[in-house]
Amino acid sequence: MSNAKGDRRERELVNELDGAGFAVMRAPASGSATDRELPDVLAGDGDSFYAIEAKSSAGDPIYLTGEEVEALVYFSQNFGAKPRIGVRFDREDWYFFHPADLYTTDGGNYRVKKETALADGTDFDELTGHSSQARLDDVDS
């Protein structure tokens, strides 16, 4: 993902969280701008507080290094926020994962495939407390 596209996606997420009633900020020093490992987005609504690492892709799987995920978890624990990986594939909505729910590669990195995001990810409304996502296998037939 290009930096410009990544920045645009992060701003989009910030605007959506703001519209859902969250106090939200994009960490200006995330990524390579500082030696400190900071999440891309911090958001809270008085009840829920999230530290989010945001990633997007045209359709290819999204990979995160073990260091990125470890830094997110470390920051979240110290800050008192829930760590979340936010993924957005082109022409799809945002989906969120707790780091422990991500697929771990043999090399110790993490991967999210588009089909996994659509099937197993927490959608935006569920993350923000505006709905509860029902899955077909959770519904009695």
CATH no. for 3-138: 3.40.1350.10
Task: Indicate the domain borders of the chain.
Answer: 3-138
pTM for the structure as a whole:
0.85
Catalytic residue among 2, 30, 32, 56: 30
40 is in an annotated binding site: yes
53 is in an annotated binding site: yes
**pLDDT tens, 53-95?**
999 999 899 999 999 999 999 999 999 999 999 999 999 999 9
The answer to whether residue 30 is catalytic is: yes
- DSSP assignment of the chain: --HHHHHHHHHHHHHHHHHTT-EEEE-TT-GGG-SS---SEEEE-SS-EEEEEEEEESSSPEEE-HHHHHHHHHHHHHHT-EEEEEEEETTS-EEEE-GGGSEEPTTS-EEE-HHHHHHHSEEHHHHTTS-----GGGS--
67 is in an annotated binding site: no
**pLDDT tens, 87-135?**
999 999 999 999 999 999 999 999 999 999 999 999 999 999 877 555 5
